[in-house]
Amino acid sequence: MMKGMACSVLFMVASVLIMVQAGRAMSRLTCGQVDTLLAPCIPYLTHGGEPGPECCNGVRSTKALAQNREDKRQVCICVKEAANRYANLEDDAVQALPVKCGVDVDIPVSRKINCDVIN
C-alpha cells in the first residue's frame, strides 16, 4: 500500500515538474515579438535624429520581457538577426538608442555579438 502511494506521489511530482517546464518553454520570447516591439525604432536607427516615444516604449517593453538568461539570449539573437537584415543601420544610433531612451539594458547590441555569452 505504501509503495503504491509513494509511486503515486512521485508520479504527481514528476507531472507537475513537466508542466512547469512546458510552461517555461511556452513563455519564451519570439523574434516576432521583439521585432514588433522594436519596429518603431527603424526610422531612428536608419536615419538618425531622435527616437520617438513608441520606439522607447518598445525598448522598455523588450527589457521588461527579458528577465532571465534564456530570454536575454533570445532578445540578443533576434536583435542581431534584425540588424543583419538592415544593411543601412547606423551603428552609432544602435549603440546610443538605450541611452537616448533612458533605458539601462544589459544586452549588448552588435552584429557580431556572441549571444551565448550573455548571462
Provide the whole-model pTM: 0.73
pLDDT of residue 5: 44
In a domain, 19, yes or no: no
- Asked whether residue 77 is assigned to any structural domain, the reply reads yes
SS3 of 68-98: CHHHHHHHHHHHHHHHHHCCCCCHHHHHHHH
User: How confident is the model over 51-80, as pLDDT tens digits?
Assistant: 999 999 999 999 999 999 999 999 999 999
25 domain residue, yes or no: no
What confidence score (pLDDT) does residue 38 get? 96
The residue segments making up the domain with residue 108 are 30-117
The DSSP 8-state label assigned to residue 107 in this structure reads S
Strand, helix or coil for residue 109: coil
Q: How many helices and strands in the chain, by DSSP H and E?
A: 6, 0
What's the CATH number where 105 sits?
Answer: 1.10.110.10
* 46 inside domain: yes
Whether 108 is covered by a domain: the verdict is yes
Answer whether residue 38 is part of any domain.
Answer: yes
What is the distance between the alpha carbons of residues 89 and 106, in angstroms, rounded to a whole number?
21
Q: Is residue 13 in a domain? A: no
Q: What pLDDT does 37 receive?
A: 97
Number of independent structural domains in the chain? 1
pLDDT of residue 28: 83
| Residue 5 forms part of a structural domain | no
Residues of the chain with pLDDT under 50: 5-27
> What's the pLDDT at 107?
79
- pLDDT, residue 75, reads 94
